[in-house]
Amino acid sequence: INISVFPPSNACIGRYILNMQITSCGHTYQRCLGDFYVLFNPWCADDPVYMDNQAHREEYVLNEHGILYEGVHKHITSRPWHFGQFEDGILDICLKILDMGASYHHGSDRDHCWRNDPVHVSMVVNHMISSHTTSSIMKIPENNDYLKGTKPFSWNGSVPILQQWYNGRCRPVRYGYCGSLASVMCTVMRCLGIPSRVVTNFCFPCSIENPLGINETFDCTGKNLCGKDKLWRYHCWNESWMARRDLNQCCGDWQCLDPTPLETGRGSACSGPTWVRSIREGELDLDYDGHHMFSRVNSNYVGWLSQNNAKKTKFFCDAWPCGQHLITKSVGSEQFEDITGAYKYELGSVKNKEAYYRAYRRIHPGYCNASNCHIERELSSLKNPFLSDSGINMRLKMANCPMYGEDVQLHWLLENLRNENKTLKFNLSAQIITYSGCPMDQFWKDSVNVTLGPREVKKIPLCISYSQYGPHLCDHNIMKVVAVSDPECGEVLMVSRDIVINRPPVIVKLLSQPRLKVPCTAEISFCNPLQEDMKNCVMTLEGCGLFKEPMTIDLGTLASNQQARTIVEFTPYRLGSHQLLANFGCHKF
């Protein structure tokens, strides 16, 4: 007997047991035919997660390989990630996540009735990633201290994280960061049949007191002082595709879900789902956490100089607006797609201003009846004056793309916009900054006197050697270079540049043609570019469909310019397109 099961489009997702009742000769008994799984179906037009584009379904549901974008908005870096949603056991782990998080919104899960709604399912998954008090999948290290766990940036994929959580009796895996949290959520959502993707937002504000403003304070040397506000260099979250019945949507659209717990003034919490279009339109009353998501792509940056007498002065500076670059992996390509236009209209356009005024009135109730002009005057009073208002233009331009071990070369460009001489004293500094905006060691300081003739343009070379930044960089590959004019010269000018130090590449070379269930070999090589030994060198290899578990190779100590070559053998156990990922770590990073 062939049995076909056609569950309705509103069936609850999960594992089902199929029994057959047999009556024969006056006797009735049951026989278990087995079990089956019901998932959301983006191929079904009646399903709330229906996506009508086949190329998009292949990318956002079927593709196990992703790319995480990191760095800073002027220097975007990328690294591959294995989602692994079709690996053995991952579906059972994803359903376990729903079981563990079922009480988050619904108190009791006896009827499972909420499991046919992708909105509620996404909220449960979002909460379980890192916000659940005892059973969340992953924790973020406090104060960048991860000595009691795995380095957050050493993960290559979601599968080892989910397996460690499941096998560890659902205790949080230590440690992750926003990129791994969003990627694990993407794995779970794709596994359950919900189209999903990871998005990176550059210049991400995290402010407790002012939802639409982010403040950074510096001292007279250019050192970034640690305050309540943090300007993250980048932040990753998840987007999932679904039709929101609670918003009377008849067609699917992207919904924003941020699994990283962020401080909101009422404690830390994850955010979403928030309809991306409502963020662009400033319609914050429509959705969950709309005001939080709007502020994360529309906040205004303000830079301050703190002097010895505790007085604060606004800089003359050209600040990069928050949330001006949002990207995700392109469909069927290794390149990124700029999706900033989905979150906000073009900066300065009429629609952009209208959406901002609309959101401002909802975030600040005291302005609910204020005119647009009143709000605009309030915003203008909060912003930094432009450098050009002082008669000087400045910028820091990279002269090279430094690799770990190389000196950082910059050109400091200054232009006098006036018909008179300008003489200024500047303090220069460089400081390590974490991706989440926490200032670390200030390792370089200098002072320069600059004289500019009328309308003169001057280019001053700057060099920061590896011997100066190397001992301080550690796992954080971002530094901030700042030039601040001396307050005694009058108006306080500031220019800054975030610089990413690229890590040395790991080279992977296949030595034989991969075939299903046939041993294959690959050569993994890495060269130490430093003029010193690298200690505690470890290579971690991972590949869905290639390795059942990640492989760790201890390389010991690598001398200066020494190249390490390792031959590894693996047996592909699943058909499809696979990636072999190699991650290198040592005492330096």
pLDDT, averaged in runs of 10, over the chain (589 residues): 88 94 88 93 96 97 96 94 94 96 63 86 95 88 82 92 96 95 98 98 88 91 90 96 90 96 73 93 83 91 86 87 91 95 94 94 90 92 91 96 95 96 95 93 95 96 96 88 90 95 92 91 93 91 85 92 92 86 86
- The active-site residue out of 47, 117, 229, 258 is 258
Half-sphere exposure of 287 (CA within 13 A, CB side): 31
How far are the Cα atoms of 55, 139, 229 from residue 131, in angstroms, in the given order?
33, 9, 21
Tell me whether residue 229 is one of the annotated catalytic residues: no
The whole-model pTM stands at 0.94
pLDDT of residue 2: 84
Half-sphere exposure of 439 (CA within 13 A, CB side): 21
- Cα(444)–Cα(223) distance, rounded to whole angstroms? 10
Amino acid at site 78: S
Q: Indicate the length of the chain as a whole number.
A: 589
Tell me whether residue 364 is one of the annotated catalytic residues: no
How many angstroms from the chain centroid is the CA of residue 108? Answer: 33
SS3 category, 574: coil
Residue of 264, 269, 235 whose CA lies nearest to 123: 269
- Residue 213: φ, ψ to 5°: -145, 145
- Cα(371)–Cα(367) distance, rounded to whole angstroms? 8
pLDDT of residue 267: 64
pLDDT of residue 270: 87
- Cα(139)–Cα(130) distance, rounded to whole angstroms? 6
pLDDT of residue 575: 84
**Residue 497 structure tokens:** 């540049």
Residue 250, exposed/middle/buried by CB under 10 A (0-12, 13-18, 19+)?
A: exposed
**Contact indicator for 328, 342 with CB cutoff of 8 Å:** no
Tell me whether residue 472 is one of the annotated catalytic residues: no
**Residue 514 structure tokens:** 């991969």
Residue 346, exposed/middle/buried by CB under 10 A (0-12, 13-18, 19+)?
A: exposed
pLDDT of residue 459: 97
- 457-464/478-485 β-pairing: unpaired
Would residue 323 be called left, alpha or beta, if left means φ above 0 and alpha means ψ between -120 and 50 degrees? left
pLDDT of residue 186: 98
pLDDT of residue 110: 52
Q: Hey, what domains does the chain have and what are their CATH numbers?
A: 54-382 (3.90.260.10), 387-500 (2.60.40.10), 506-585 (2.60.40.10)
pLDDT of residue 172: 95
- Cα(344)–Cα(486) distance, rounded to whole angstroms? 37
- The active-site residue out of 94, 170, 178, 544 is 178
